[in-house]
Chain A
Amino acid sequence: MAFLYALPGAIAEGLIWGLMGIGVYISYKILDIADLTVDGSICTGACVCAVLLGSGVPVWVSVLAAFVAGALAGMVTGLLHTALGIPSILAGILTQLMLYSVNLFILGGKSLVAVDPRANALWVHMSDNPSSILAMLILVTVVILCLWQFFYTEIGLTLKSTGDNPDMSRAQGVNVKRNQVVGLAIANAIVALAGAMLAQYKGSANINDGRGAIVIGLAAIFIGLSVSLKIKPNFVVSLIGVLGGGIIYYIVYNLVILMGLKTDYLKMLSAIIVTVFLAVPYLKGEYFTRRKSLRPQDMANGGGEGA
């Protein structure tokens, strides 16, 4: 019974983190970059939105500003990587660290800024889960439609090929470095958008929001794709899958809390989920395919199969 009460909240929050997962999907799956900027940029999105709302700026402007701030954060990581030759993982970590100071600056030195749901006509808030879910569904539909249109344009296709095969991309005249910067900007813009929604939903922005966000995003991706790839391996279905992964993650999250797990241990749980999803394909390849590869028919086809 308690679980049923918690369900609408889990779905609303799951949709917010699923939206963030879509941002992570763009960097991790499409660009093939494990971008750690997101831990910072989701918080930046929350901070920008909360502070602007607090000074009476309309919701849509605050959300848009958060989106732009996220894009800038992604560009910083992209430029550290492409223009200064810093490995992408390290570039993300550096930006994440920079953003901690930036976020503190945005919050005016405080560690928490509250958003007053009565003073602002918020799009989402935990006091009204049904309309929060509706608002999130509208928002993610718009985001998915935009991404769908974009990634099938001439420019969008080269973004996909940039992550999939940079050698081929360069040989076909694609500016791989520029695409990485643009892709990271888009990814972090979406992550910051999720941050803006999170600040509204929770009614506050906290300097510690977003710690471990990348892991939740990856969990949403792995959970989602493990289902959606079986249905239809295309772009839109994958994005919807990631969204679903976020919801499932939050339902499980609420379940384990109801079962009495201390919230202190939840980060451990997230990390274990992601570890399992990362390890299983590897272990399968390592321990369960060796014998197969010795079959004569496989030897005959040796080298003919794709990567």
Chain B
Amino acid sequence: MEVGKVLKITNLQKTFNAGTVNAKTALNGLDLEIKDGEFVTVIGGNGAGKSTLLNAIAGVWKPDFGSIEIDGVDVTRMPEYKRAKFLGRVFQDPMKGTSPDMEIAENLAIASRRGEKRRFVRGVKRSDREKYRQLLATLELGLEDRLSTKVGLLSGGQRQAITLLMATMNRPKLLLLDEHTAALDPKTAAKVLELTDQIVEKNHLTTLMITHNMRDAITHGNRLIMMYEGNILIDVSGEEKRNLTVEHLLSLFTQASGGGVVNDRLVLN
């Protein structure tokens, strides 16, 4: 693989409940390459295969066919926890990315050793607390004074912001965001998206962000892909992406899918 490619997916296929009447082809021979520094937004209707794609990259399950390389390493058969050294992940469910019964500092401490050997030394040292305080201050949510608070006592938005920190504090090769603002109220969602942009910008992170919201997909990132029936239908970047509008994207979709129907939730957003 050439230098500068962070992700290379070749002919990825996944069918759920194969061989039954409920068989559902979620990924249908998908190819995708992502270059270093790209911020890709992924859009598509329900069942288009967006989350399936992200879970395949993260290693939640093994694909039926095809291969996935991250940073030049073939990870197709690598278990989820081992791939974590390449990946930062933020989930749709704000409860999923943090450990509720543990303190904020302890959560950050676990994240700070992602991809490194964990040792028999104190998990949260005094020097760490100062580091975490500064890191939390960048969120501007007042969490820097609550290092010893159990994460379960925080709101969904606060937890998602902490998950974002945890996903990025050990610079990941690829940041995976799975509709990470979909479960938040509009104001909190906007704040978390703003934080996402800041963090991605500051750390020059290569990012793959799934969203249900067309406008978010257009305003964020520097490349947009639209998925349909388990494959990539539209892939725009650079100047074309910057000039994209919702109307234009919809007409592109209708053309490319041969008159496919965009699902309601997409249009309404």
> Using a CB–CB distance below 8 Å, which chain A residues touch chain B?
152-158, 160-161, 164-165, 167-176, 233, 303-307
A306 touches B154 (CB 8 A): yes
B65 at interface, CB cutoff 8 A: no
Q: In the complex the two chains form, is A173's CB within 8 Å of B115's CB? A: yes
| Residues in chain A near residue B248, CB distance under 8 A | none
Q: Contact: A168 with B119, CB < 8 Å?
A: no
Q: Which residues of B contact A304 (CB under 8 A)?
A: 155-157, 185
Total contacting residues, chain B, CB less than 8 A: 45
- Selected from B114, B157, B159, B183, the residue in CB contact (under 8 A) with A172 is B114
* Set of chain A residues within 8 Å of B122, measured between Cβ atoms: 152-154
Q: Is the CB of B121 within 8 A of A154?
A: yes
A154 touches B99 (CB 8 A): no
Determine if B58 is an interface residue (Cβ-Cβ < 8 Å): yes
Question: Which residues of chain B from 75 to 120 have any CB-CB distance to chain A below 8 Å in the complex?
Answer: 80-82, 84-85, 87, 89, 91, 95-102, 106-107, 109-111, 113-115, 118-120
Residue B233 lies at the interface, judged by CB distance under 8 Å to chain A: no
How long is the Cα–Cα vector from A157 to B101 in the complex, in angstroms?
A: 11
Query: Are B123 and A152 in contact, CB atoms less than 8 angstroms apart?
Result: yes
Is the beta-carbon distance between A165 and B84 smaller than 8 angstroms? no
CB–CB A155/B95 < 8 A: no
Specify the chain B residue showing the minimal Cβ separation from A29: B101
Q: How far is the CA of A154 from the CA of B91 in the complex (A)?
A: 24
Nearest A residue to B156 via CB reads: A304
* Inter-chain residue pair count (beta carbon < 8 A): 106
> Interface on B for A, CB 8 Å cutoff?
58, 80-82, 84-85, 87, 89, 91, 95-102, 106-107, 109-111, 113-115, 118-124, 150-157, 159, 166-167, 183, 185
Tell me if B98 and A168 are in contact (CB < 8 A). Answer: yes
18 intermolecular pairs with C-beta atoms under 8 Å apart:
A152-B123, A153-B119, A153-B123, A154-B118, A154-B120, A155-B118, A157-B123, A161-B99, A164-B100, A165-B96, A171-B97, A172-B84, A172-B113, A172-B166, A173-B82, A174-B81, A304-B155, A304-B157
Give A165 to B98 CA distance when docked, in angstroms.
7
Chain B nearest CB, measured from A77 CB (Å): 21
- A-B residue pairs, 8 tightest by C-beta: A173-B84, A306-B152, A157-B123, A154-B118, A164-B99, A161-B99, A304-B155, A165-B99
Q: How far is the CA of A156 from the CA of B81 in the complex (A)?
A: 17
User: Closest Cβ of chain B: how far from A280's Cβ, in Å?
Assistant: 20
* Residue on B nearest A157 in the bound complex, by CB: B123
Query: What's the least CB distance linking A57 to chain B, in Å?
Result: 30
Bound-state CA distance A160–B123 (Å) is: 12
Cβ-defined contact, A155 with B120, below 8 A: yes
Q: Which of B80, B101, B183 has the most CB of A within 10 A?
A: B101
Residues of B within 8 A of A171 (CB): 58, 80, 84, 87, 89, 91, 97, 167
Q: Which residue of B lies closest to A306 (CB)?
A: B152
> CB-nearest residue of chain B relative to A32?
B101
State the Cβ distance, A111 to closest chain B Cβ, in Å.
Answer: 42
CA distance A172 to B81 in the complex (A): 7
- Rounded to whole angstroms, the CA-CA distance of A124 and B95 in the bound complex is 47
Known contacts A154-B119, A173-B82; 8 further A-B pairs (Cβ under 8 A) = A154-B118, A154-B122, A157-B102, A169-B99, A170-B84, A173-B113, A305-B156, A307-B152
Q: In the complex, what residues of A have CB within 8 A of residue B99's CB?
A: 160-161, 164-165, 168-169
